[in-house]
A and B are shown apart, each in its own frame.
Chain A
Amino acid sequence: ELKVEQNPLFLSMQEGKNYTIYCNYSTTSDRLYWYRQDPGKSLESLFVLLSNGAVKQEGRLMASLDTKARLSTLHITAAVHDLSATYFCAVDMGGGADGLTFGKGTHLIIQP
């Protein structure tokens, strides 16, 4: 059974600081996704990582994928309050199954 673990699950940080969210998964996969969810809202796609070594950046967020280590990171640079949200990583189940297995999410609060 594919397991996806995120840490930390809760993070409170100050504006201007840098931090990294980690996503580990238990079986071989080369497709990993990051989503953002605001309270009471649906999921917004942030990044799709499709190969080992993939790195994508959008504004203050950068995601990377190491398929050998089964690890993805979401790095936040010089955080701003607007980035407060819950961030999920998800892994393609693979093997003919196409649903995503999600982590529990990282609840991020950025304080002024």
Chain B
Amino acid sequence: GAGVSQTPSNKVTEKGKYVELRCDPISGHTALYWYRQSLGQGPEFLIYFQGTGAADDSGLPNDRFFAVRPEGSVSTLKIQRTERGDSAVYLCASSLGRGGYEQYFGPGTRLTVT
């Protein structure tokens, strides 16, 4: 079946601009996660959704970052006033539920802020 998909695969934006990154999870997966991976590092947790609600947003670095999942399926990660330090690969993952379920990762969106 179809895996987790993310669009766009690459995004180049200028400092100060607004960007939206989209994640389409595996059908039927209620849990959705966003991570950020910098070069040479492991993924860093940003936010977790269970259904439509953000169950844990403790990893969001500041209030420029926001994510939504209005219908409990597709999620959008929104970054305002982008900074060069936001450049990274943004990964989305989904799982059947919380706690001990395997997380399946999408291909990621490579964000470059110039």
**A interface residues (Cβ-Cβ under 8 A, vs B):** 4, 31, 33, 35, 41-45, 48, 50, 88, 90, 92-93, 96-105
Knowing that A33-B103, A44-B105, A45-B102 touch, tell me 10 more A-B residue pairs with CB under 8 angstroms: A45-B103, A97-B58, A98-B55, A99-B46, A100-B33, A100-B35, A100-B45, A104-B40, A104-B41, A105-B41
A-B interface contact total, Cβ < 8 Å: 68
Q: Which chain A residues border B46 with CB–CB below 8 Å?
A: 99
Beyond A31-B100, A42-B107, whether A102 also contacts B59 by CB under 8 A is: no
Q: Are A98 and B48 in contact (CB under 8 A)?
A: yes
* Closest chain A residue to B106, Cβ basis: A42
Measured CA separation A104–B37 after assembly (Å): 10
Q: Are B108 and A42 in contact (CB under 8 A)?
A: yes
